[in-house]
Structure 1
């Protein structure tokens, strides 16, 4: 953590200019209040800055509120495309004029007075600086409530494998435009854009400046249950980006586990019908191959789900042939020579075959059937 108190406030270090990006949707009451506080900071610290309100077509007077302010360093850009906080921030960063980028909310929860401390932290060598609630000196309003606190903590814990930052959920952060321009494949879902940039820009040196996080007074919170579900979807994408093969393998194993249930259920049904063991084993494998293909296509390797399904299925069966042969051979061997003729020996033999064939099936699916057409190291 780097706090303002650790550095002298040398005004000459701020002359490069900063762009403050503020995503908005129906925040007309807060815009004049935020601009007044930023203006006071600008004059006190002699800052060169601009404020870009990235508005998701609020139609609530936000345009007029910015125009009435009379500040030539403040402008509003009305976005006509799909709404979304993260997308608005990215568009704002791309439209920014100055080399240092800030993101903050319009609801006055983020104190602009902490901007000088965050600039100094960038000058000290940090790649990104976050206004943090959870480092020493950081705080939230007393009426936050237990459930809001626990929700934030759980969300932070889920992001821990991606970054060791204590408050990656913060929407108040700064980074250099040069670092932002290094990002590739930005594809955020929901509202946690800082976490997206930490991962996609490869930022390892991230500092945190303590802030007091205030509850909004005007307007309505945009943090809905739907947005929280989008966060889970966003995390999945980031995990796939950071830990690609491990995540694909984990999802493949989950689908494979469902295939085990299908395999054993069909096998047991055929066994109950009095069919020979060889046909029971073959039937269980055949049905589970079909269900595994459909689930892997829809979830594990969803990037390839728009390609021709019949061609993919033919490739899936072909690429999994080695795995199926291993599965079938190991199961037969275990049933005949290892497990004997116990009441569930056939089921245990089938389970051993499934495990042996799983690795072969994953490699075939990952690198042949559902391969990515463009892979960037």
Structure 2
């Protein structure tokens, strides 16, 4: 087995590759690292193929051209899956990551009992390009802050990192990243606890244009939601369920205020409840329990209405029992009602999670089974 595999995802980076690959090869030679370089290209319309063919004459370079798929994260995964090295290292093609730091990342992974090593911009000694404006710095910091529920690493969104092959294989079958932040996906899904950061000088690309856009930033938020669901599971689902329930209160009140001017109160109240219940269903179907949105719409909707009715019954029963059976709550009817709301919401959530929007297998069970199967295969 090779000591090291270096994966470089590309799209229209031919000009940068002519500089990057010789630098990487020189570093590998000087550090006496037995390695391969894998360029994973998304069928670029430039001269990437010709450039790689020429570079492969003097470098341990292999090109993978993807015809039917696009995206940096999936390109990285394709390279990781094709790699044969004991250590897997990923870096960008735009010359923003210094190849001279490769031996240090490899050494840290071997000597510090690390699960994951990052070429970091934000630890002591790390820097970003001086041309960065305040907006770019602010954007990067906010994105990093949003990753805090998953890792304490200072620069978990970096595209320059290394991971051991055996660590990667623990979770490679359950990876489903969205957008560019594959490093964060690996930290979470591979359950990397000891993350080491090596300071680097991050420089702006030399040629070509950045792939970052507002659309990619939205995809990053979608990615965070997926990771939140994966790591925290029912806690994550319940948090989203509760927040959507809160929005339903505002929808209910707004509809009631609007309809009360046009029709008698009982009908207005009923229509307001139905409207808020329907919007909550759509939001839960497409956000909280999005894994089940491919199932029959009408069946799910009717089941959801039934779960809401069940939750309302438990809400009422709890409120009545507390207020009539305990002297403490007799004078605190609002507190009893609040507890009733929590109980009703809890029953509603359980019915939604395991009946209305059920899975064939719980996510944790599926993930564990896939991981165990792969571990047995590699032992």
Root-mean-square deviation (Å): 2.9
Counterpart residue number, 1:79 = 66
Any residues of structure 2 matched to 1:155-170 within 5 Å, and which?
A: 155-170=143-158
Partner secondary structure for residue 371 of structure 1: coil
Counterpart residue number, 2:162 = 174
2:133 to 139, 145, 167: 145
Counterpart residue number, 1:307 = 295
Contact kept in structure 1, 2:22 and 2:59, CA below 8 Å = no
Counterpart residue number, 1:5 = none
- Give the distance between the partners of 2:352 and 2:319, measured in 1 at CA: 22
Task: Tell me which structure has the larger Cα radius of gyration.
Answer: 1
1:124-167 Cα deviation digits (max 9, x unpaired): 21111100011111112211121111111111100011000000
- Give the distance between the partners of 1:220 and 1:283, measured in 2 at CA: 52
Report whether the alignment pairs 1:58 with 2:44.
Answer: yes
2:191 to 202, 205, 209: 202
1:247 to 236, 248, 257: 236
- Give the distance between the partners of 1:261 and 1:349, measured in 2 at CA: 22
What displacement does 1:39 show?
1.9
Distance 1:138 1:266, change over 3 A: closer
Report whether the alignment pairs 1:96 with 2:91.
Answer: no
Partner secondary structure for residue 183 of structure 2: helix
Q: Gapped runs of 5+ residues in structure 1?
A: 1-14
Distance 1:223 1:282, change over 3 A: closer
Contact kept in structure 1, 2:25 and 2:59, CA below 8 Å = no
- Give the distance between the partners of 1:354 and 1:263, measured in 2 at CA: 16
Partner secondary structure for residue 156 of structure 2: coil
What displacement does 1:334 show?
11
Distance 1:269 1:222, change over 3 A: closer
What displacement does 1:170 show?
0.5
Contact kept in structure 1, 2:2 and 2:84, CA below 8 Å = no
Tell me how many residue pairs correspond in the alignment.
356
1:282-335 Cα deviation digits (max 9, x unpaired): 554444333322221122111111111222123223333321213456789999
Contact kept in structure 2, 1:20 and 1:50, CA below 8 Å = yes
Contact kept in structure 2, 1:320 and 1:365, CA below 8 Å = no
What displacement does 1:181 show?
0.8
- Give the distance between the partners of 1:235 and 1:175, measured in 2 at CA: 21
What displacement does 1:97 show?
1.7
What displacement does 1:267 show?
5.0
Any residues of structure 2 matched to 1:112-151 within 5 Å, and which?
A: 112-124=99-111, 125-151=113-139
- Give the distance between the partners of 1:265 and 1:220, measured in 2 at CA: 46
Contact kept in structure 1, 2:88 and 2:165, CA below 8 Å = yes
Contact kept in structure 2, 1:21 and 1:93, CA below 8 Å = yes
- Give the distance between the partners of 1:353 and 1:201, measured in 2 at CA: 40
Distance 1:354 1:259, change over 3 A: farther
Q: Gapped runs of 5+ residues in structure 2?
A: 366-379
Distance 1:330 1:259, change over 3 A: farther
Give the alignment's TM-score, normalised by structure 2.
0.85
2:314 to 307, 316, 326: 326
Report whether the alignment pairs 1:38 with 2:24.
Answer: yes
1:220-244 Cα deviation digits (max 9, x unpaired): 1111221112111111111111112
